[in-house]
Structure 1
Amino acid sequence: MTTNVLFFSDMGVDDAVALMYASFTKTINIVGIVCSYGNVPVEDAVQNAHFLLNLLGLNDVPVIKGAERPMTGESPTYITKVHGTHGLGSIVPPFASEGQNFGIVKSIIERYGGELIIVDTGRLTSLAMAIMLYGELIKKVKGYYIMGGAFLVPGNVTPVAEANFAGDPVAADLVMRRGGPIALFPLNVTYKAIVTQDMSDSINRVGKVPLFKPIFDVYYDFYKTSMPQLQGAPPHDLLPMMALVNRHMFQWMRRPVHIVTQEGIARGQSIADFRPNATAHPNTIRIALDLDYRQFYWNFMTNMTDEKG
């Protein structure tokens, strides 16, 4: 059975890996990419999406321009040492491209309705906009697979907050409250999905895409320096896409989730109620808290290198 995916992304290295993985998975059908600020400015995200779609032979997939800044009104900051100057490691896309109007999101939801999954791996501003703009219509969406948050583990941009939620906590809180059936992939689980140098080299030698290593190396080098204990780099944004076809790879827990929107050290923190009776709350979210690394390794490497997919 084919899963139709509308991909909300800020199109950095791990977003690119997620898109590659999806393109090589016969049961995932990318029906559109909404690009927003985050790892890079929105214009770079749009350009990266076009470049990757051309590389993967998916030129008919619409690239839609999303939010340029968070709902908090701040100007975004970009940390190029993680994803590279333009967001794709050492790669600079050779051509400029423009994104289509955000209104196409409505057309996609109308077309696919209850057969559509939204995967969001960036700041949640654009998704929050869609929820506010399209009200009852977006309730038809089958589910949301979101990378974000950190529960009972340190954040990656503050002591308690993960980058996507910290980048726009107002949008993150709105999506958690009004987004419908959500599967959430926080740092608890994404830090366990490690791609090593040997894995990257193997994909470079016998993989389906010729530019994996130059895209991934800058990202890998950042983690080698900043978190050497990982012994590799975690492509965080890959996991929501993998979960579409590998649900049993994860250990799940249902809990209500709140995002701190107030200014201060806790801004952007994701808080889940882990008390035993919290499962009775009417608005619980399915949180991935652990994964089977052997399954992750086998599925990722087979998908990225085996022509039979």
Structure 2
Amino acid sequence: MGTKLIIDTDPGVDDAFALALATRSEDVDLLGVTTVFGNVPLSHTTANARRLLQLFGREDVPVAAGAERPLVYDNAKPAGFVHGQDGLSGHAGTLPEAKRALDERGAVRLLVDLLEAADEPVTIAPIGPLTNIALLLAAHPQIREKIGRIVIMGGGVTKGNSTTAAEFNIWSDPEAARRVLVDGDIPTVLVPLDITHQCSVDTTWLGKLAASGPLGAALEALTPTYVEHYTPILGFPGMVMHDAVAVAEAIRPGILDTESYPVDVECGFGPARGATLVDRRRLRSTDPQTVPGRTIDVALTTDVDAFRGFVLDRIVGGL
């Protein structure tokens, strides 16, 4: 099979599209899903992930619950006003009940077990706060050898959304984000707001999804609150598929154009808390002003029309 993938998620409307993309792609071996607090509290994100997998006919995929709060400072706030209080525009209850029981091992243990059992490198796509991934890397450093890439939806080079400076996933747990982005050594791709906003879709695109059949209609039905939130931001009726953009890169490396930069995360308590500091100065390594540490790949551009077609074709083609 193709890409071996684990998704760490906090569903969330855009997470629902990301899960749809992964589960409906025949070249993806989705090993497991772990959940984290974020868009809504952990109890909701976990229930949503399980119901979505049931909707997509993937009860074979184990789901384990992870962190219910940030690593250090418990000051993150859910985004129910964006996604609806249940995370899915108030329609979570319309999804089928999950038949598979929640995996009792918990997120970090499930991650370790899946990685240890894999016979080839695994891609991890964290599309919520990075708390579970930070815990994994801190408690099980030897597991790094089994991870091929980490493709993260988070951060912003030129903008934030939770604050002027900070994107929601990074802002929700800056200390965890810094542990993964700055202190890690696994090949990493950061998919920030700058590229996810370029890949926004309008209601015509969503209409094509709804017209594709019952599952497409069920997925589109989860979007009203989300579309209402994003319409004034985008300037047209539509939405931003943040997490699906990262998952697309996870399953088709190179669909996004990346450049390698030093990245840091602001963990102070001023107005820039949670900001991702992407150093685009192109300094020489000998320059005294250069930022020490590693570089990571940051996605900044793509063929937007081709990308939208890819996501729609993958989801509809599997329905």
- For the superposition of Structure 1 and Structure 2, which TM-score range results when normalised by the shorter chain? over 0.9
Partner of 2:277, secondary structure, is strand
Partner of 1:244, secondary structure, is helix
Q: Whole-Å Cα distance in 2 between the matches of residues 205 and 27 of structure 1?
A: 24
Closer/same/farther in 2, CA of residues 80 and 203 from structure 1, 3 Å limit? same
1:160 and 2:171 correspond: no
1:211 and 2:218 correspond: yes
After TM superposition, give the deviation of residue 174 of structure 1 in Å.
0.3
Question: 2:266, 2:272 within 8 Å by CA — same for their partners in 1?
Answer: yes
1:175 and 2:180 correspond: yes
1:87 and 2:87 correspond: yes
Unpaired segments of 5 or more residues in structure 1?
A: none
Q: Whole-Å Cα distance in 1 between the matches of residues 208 and 227 of structure 2?
A: 15
Question: 2:34, 2:63 within 8 Å by CA — same for their partners in 1?
Answer: yes
After TM superposition, give the deviation of residue 297 of structure 1 in Å.
1.9
Aligned to 1:61: 61
Question: 1:56, 1:209 within 8 Å by CA — same for their partners in 2?
Answer: no
Please show how residues 96-115 of structure 1 align to structure 2 within 5 Å: 98-102=102-106, 103-112=109-118, 114-115=120-121
Aligned to 1:30: 30
After TM superposition, give the deviation of residue 78 of structure 1 in Å.
1.6
Q: Which amino acid aligns with 2:104?
A: Q
Aligned to 2:289: none
Aligned to 2:257: 251
Closer/same/farther in 2, CA of residues 127 and 18 from structure 1, 3 Å limit? same
- TM-score, with structure 2 as normaliser: 0.90
After TM superposition, give the deviation of residue 282 of structure 1 in Å.
5.7
Question: 1:80, 1:86 within 8 Å by CA — same for their partners in 2?
Answer: yes
Q: Whole-Å Cα distance in 1 between the matches of residues 171 and 276 of structure 2?
A: 9
Residues 155-175 of structure 1: CA deviation (Å, up to 9, x unaligned): 001111101111100000000
After TM superposition, give the deviation of residue 236 of structure 1 in Å.
0.2
Question: 1:148, 1:164 within 8 Å by CA — same for their partners in 2?
Answer: yes
Q: Alpha carbon RMSD of aligned pairs, Å?
A: 2.0
Alignment counterpart, residue 286 of structure 1, candidates 278, 284, 297: 297
Closer/same/farther in 2, CA of residues 113 and 270 from structure 1, 3 Å limit? farther
Question: 1:254, 1:279 within 8 Å by CA — same for their partners in 2?
Answer: no
Unpaired segments of 5 or more residues in structure 2?
A: 287-291
Q: Which amino acid aligns with 1:183?
A: V
Aligned to 1:44: 44
Closer/same/farther in 2, CA of residues 10 and 99 from structure 1, 3 Å limit? farther
After TM superposition, give the deviation of residue 24 of structure 1 in Å.
1.2
Q: Which amino acid aligns with 1:132?
A: A
After TM superposition, give the deviation of residue 100 of structure 1 in Å.
2.7
Question: 1:200, 1:212 within 8 Å by CA — same for their partners in 2?
Answer: no
Number of residue-to-residue matches in the alignment: 306
